[in-house]
Amino acid sequence: MRGFKKLDWYIIRQLLTIFVLAIVMIILIIIVFDLAEKLDDFLEKEAPIKGLIFTFYLNFVPYFVNLFGHLFFFISVIFLTSRLAAKTEIVAILSSGISFNRFLRPFVISSILVGLLNFYLGNFLIPEVNKPRLEFEKKYYRNPVRNFNYNIHIQTSKNSKV
């Protein structure tokens, strides 16, 4: 791309690497806790391991990437900026004649990329991958017994209904 300098690529690469590593770590933690919570039901209903991995948990990941993407990108920006400041790289960048607005350009470009990823996940991918995941969950996790009694009202007095 025209106009990109080594500094831009360095900041974008560092920022997106930190973001991806943070998201992967939180997703792994979420999967471990979710599996620990649902394991008894999966074993009781004899859920296949292949279906559990590829149908349930692989389709489980985009939702949480979309859910935590904004937060972890913010954390990545703070982490990278503090790391650059600790190594006095920001001082060197600004004192070399690069304006602060020019310094922020790779951060803005990275945020647009993450925003587009979240837009794609939330509007296109997640609705499609939720269908097989919810079917698997209904078959192997949730209790199929449902209460069909609704809109039941009890009149306790002339002007009061429960």
Position 3 scores a pLDDT of 64
Here the contacts of 54-62 (C-beta below 8 Å, separation 24 or greater) are: 55/132, 55/133, 55/136, 56/133, 56/136, 56/137, 57/31, 59/129, 59/130, 59/132, 59/133, 60/31, 60/34, 60/133, 61/27, 61/31, 62/121, 62/125, 62/126, 62/129
Mean pLDDT by 10 residues, the chain (162 residues): 80 97 96 93 92 93 95 97 94 91 95 96 95 91 68 77 72
